[in-house]
């Protein structure tokens, strides 16, 4: 800028390779020089040449860094007013490229000025000057890009005010664009030990934005406790400086870290002191939550150590509560009472027989209570092998025979309405053989009956009744009608 006289000069900037980065012919007291972003370190040459070789005016240089820390944010939703000052530094602004923009104008307010302006978009820039008004076209930039606007007085002697307006779409009034609310998805939160959780807008906001300025964001609901564990729908409300509001909704998962530690598959080994009518002790524990717990068993017990008797096994359940009101429960299967009876006479029970040294060959047997002594010391245990009784879940009931004639039967855990697939293997599969399927409970009561033709298929499918089955042990009886009258009891635990 020349403080006294106008000058006519040519200004050039060269990079370290001698390439021209900027070239501008100046007539007046001021000139803005724009050096785009460069990726080359080294010495740059600024050349100022008097175009007519007759000017002796002094001048001075000022420097502005293209950084938002050195610039004032320019609102795109309303008119911005400011002023030029004699010998002042460049008025440097920045704005975020909006979704819709048809350019911007700079115009004097109270007196004629001679604005000199530059729009800078990355390495591209546009220079305009006029005696009264500037009109910039919309820069070719993606929404959200940072755009700089530098303004100064071309003559270097004006102190008038000016206003900057963004040109909206036809019919759109400035300042009436609502903010855009964006919510994060798939969030989960765990209640702290206090049992009370507060969620803020920072937890939910996914980059909400506005043409002008967001002044407030709030979440509703924002407080959660044990009563709200599970999926909850919340709303993020965004308010801009014009009072315009927009919102978005999302579903969050509120969780409790309260956990009930309990073996859902209780195993009772048949040994010397075995007593079929004896009650058994089961212990549970808890972690997480508030650290103080209440235990409630379905048979009325209220301590971590519960005594379960044969008459308690129906719908056996343990539930724990902490001081915050959070709770968690588990169903428990005990091989006692009706859970192990396998005959309607009430004198036979199912056991898992484990041959010594050959655990893989274990098999489910339905034996007389009086013969249980024969199974002492073999690691045999009450209830079916695998699958049933909560000891694991099988997707199929497998029926097969070995060369020695013993059957290996795997049970499964199912629910009412489930589709059960029965694999038929080895000599049990006989072409064109009819098979009788009957579903009975531990007391031998019939709940389902069907006759199927095995033919060349290798499996049968059984649709369990969708209602009428109380939780407990059932048996699927498969009987071959080829004259051999072979019958196989496959255990099924209905949960």
Domain 188-255 in CATH 1.20.950? The answer is no
pLDDT digits (tens, 9 = 90+) for 219-248: 999 999 999 999 999 999 999 887 889 999
Residue 186's pLDDT is 93
Task: Calculate mean pLDDT across residues 140-158.
Answer: 80
CB 380 within 8 A of CB 354: yes
224, β-bridge pairs: 197
Residue 293's pLDDT is 93
Task: Calculate mean pLDDT across residues 197-204.
Answer: 95
d(CA 302, CA 377): 34
Residue 486's pLDDT is 53
Q: Which CATH homologous superfamily contains domain 340-494?
A: Macroglobulin (MG2) domain (2.60.40.1930)
Task: Calculate mean pLDDT across residues 244-272.
Answer: 88
**Architecture of the domain defined by 7-166:** Sandwich (2.60)
d(CA 365, CA 385): 9
Q: How far is CA 339 from CA 4, 164, 207, 256, in A?
A: 106, 83, 57, 33
pLDDT digits (tens, 9 = 90+) for 344-385: 777 888 888 887 777 777 777 888 888 887 777 777 888 877
pLDDT > 60? residue 174: no
Cα 111 → chain centroid: 58
Fold identical between 259-338 and 340-494? yes
pLDDT > 50? residue 252: yes
Cα 417 → chain centroid: 31
3-state class (DSSP) for residue 228: helix
Residue 393's pLDDT is 42
pLDDT > 60? residue 26: yes
> Which of residues 319 and 349 earns the better pLDDT score?
319
* Separate counts of helices (H) and strands (E) for the chain: 1, 37
Residue 175's pLDDT is 47
Name the band, by pLDDT with cuts 50, 70 and 90, for residue 319. Answer: very high
d(CA 52, CA 232): 76
Q: For the chain, what are the domain ranges?
A: 7-166, 188-255, 259-338, 340-494
Residue 275's pLDDT is 75
d(CA 494, CA 412): 9
pLDDT > 70? residue 307: yes
Domain 259-338 in CATH 2.60.40? The answer is yes
Name the residue among 490, 462, 478, 282 with its Cα closest to residue 384: 490
Name the band, by pLDDT with cuts 50, 70 and 90, for residue 398. Answer: very low
- Please, which contacts does 33-42 make with residues 24 or more away whose CB atoms are closer than 8 Å? 34/118, 34/120, 34/125, 34/127, 34/150, 36/120, 36/122, 36/123, 36/124, 36/125, 37/66, 37/122, 37/123, 40/15, 40/16, 41/16, 42/15, 42/16
Q: Which of 19-23, 40-44, 45-49, 375-379 has the lowest mean pLDDT?
A: 375-379
pLDDT digits (tens, 9 = 90+) for 449-492: 777 665 545 556 677 777 777 777 777 777 766 655 455 666 77
pLDDT digits (tens, 9 = 90+) for 185-197: 999 999 999 999 9
CA-angle at 118, arms to 117 and 119, nearest 5°: 130
Mean pLDDT for all residues in the chain: 78
Residue 425's pLDDT is 52
Residues in the chain: 495
pTM: 0.48
pLDDT digits (tens, 9 = 90+) for 65-108: 778 888 888 877 778 888 876 555 678 898 888 877 888 888 88
């Amino acid at each position: 800028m020349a403080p006294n006289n106008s000058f006519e000069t040519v200004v050039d900037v060269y990079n370290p390779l001698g390439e021209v980065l900027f070239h501008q012919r100046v007539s007046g007291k001021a000139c803005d020089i724009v050096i785009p972003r460069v990726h080359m370190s080294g010495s740059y040459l600024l050349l100022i040449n008097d175009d007519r070789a007759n000017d002796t005016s002094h001048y001075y240089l000022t420097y502005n860094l293209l950084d938002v820390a050195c610039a004032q944010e320019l609102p795109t939703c309303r008119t911005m007013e400011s002023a030029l000052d004699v010998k002042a530094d460049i008025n440097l602004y920045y704005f975020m490229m909006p979704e819709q923009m048809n350019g911007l104008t700079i115009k004097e307010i109270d007196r004629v000025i001679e604005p000199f302006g530059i729009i800078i978009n990355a390495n591209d820039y546009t220079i305009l000057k006029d005696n009264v008004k500037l009109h910039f076209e919309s820069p070719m930039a993606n929404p959200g890009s940072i755009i700089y606007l530098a303004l100064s007085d071309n003559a270097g002697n004006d102190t008038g005010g000016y206003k900057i307006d963004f040109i909206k779409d036809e019919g759109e009034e400035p300042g009436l664009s609502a903010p855009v609310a964006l919510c994060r998805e798939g969030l989960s939160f765990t209640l702290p030990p206090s049992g009370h959780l507060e969620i803020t807008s920072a937890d939910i906001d996914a980059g909400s934005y506005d043409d002008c300025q967001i002044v407030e964001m709030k979440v509703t609901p924002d407080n959660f406790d044990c009563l709200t564990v599970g999926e909850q729908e919340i709303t993020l409300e965004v308010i801009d400086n014009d009072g315009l509001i927009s919102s978005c909704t999302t579903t969050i998962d509120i969780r409790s870290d309260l956990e009930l530690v309990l073996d859902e598959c209780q195993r009772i080994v048949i040994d010397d002191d075995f007593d079929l009518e004896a009650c058994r002790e089961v212990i549970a524990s808890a972690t997480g939550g508030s650290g103080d717990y209440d235990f409630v068993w379905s048979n009325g017990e209220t301590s971590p150590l519960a005594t379960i008797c044969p008459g308690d096994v129906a719908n056996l359940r343990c539930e724990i509560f902490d001081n915050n009101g959070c709770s968690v429960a588990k169903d428990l299967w005990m091989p006692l009472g009706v859970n192990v009876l396998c005959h309607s006479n009430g004198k036979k029970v199912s056991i898992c027989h484990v041959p010594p040294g050959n655990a893989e060959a274990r098999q489910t047997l339905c034996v007389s209570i009086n013969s249980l002594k024969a199974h002492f010391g073999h690691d045999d245990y009450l209830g079916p092998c695998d699958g049933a009784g909560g000891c694991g879940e099988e997707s199929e009931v497998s029926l097969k025979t070995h060369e020695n004639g013993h059957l290996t039967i795997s049970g499964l855990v199912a629910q009412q309405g489930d589709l059960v697939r029965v694999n038929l293997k080895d000599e049990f599969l006989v072409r064109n053989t009819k098979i009788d399927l009957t579903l009975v409970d531990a007391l031998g009561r019939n709940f389902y009956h069907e006759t199927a033709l095995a033919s060349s298929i290798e499996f049968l499918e059984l649709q369990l009744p969708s209602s009428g089955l109380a939780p407990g042990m059932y048996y699927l009886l498969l009987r071959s009608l080829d004259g051999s009258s072979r019958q196989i009891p496959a255990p099924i635990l209905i949960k």
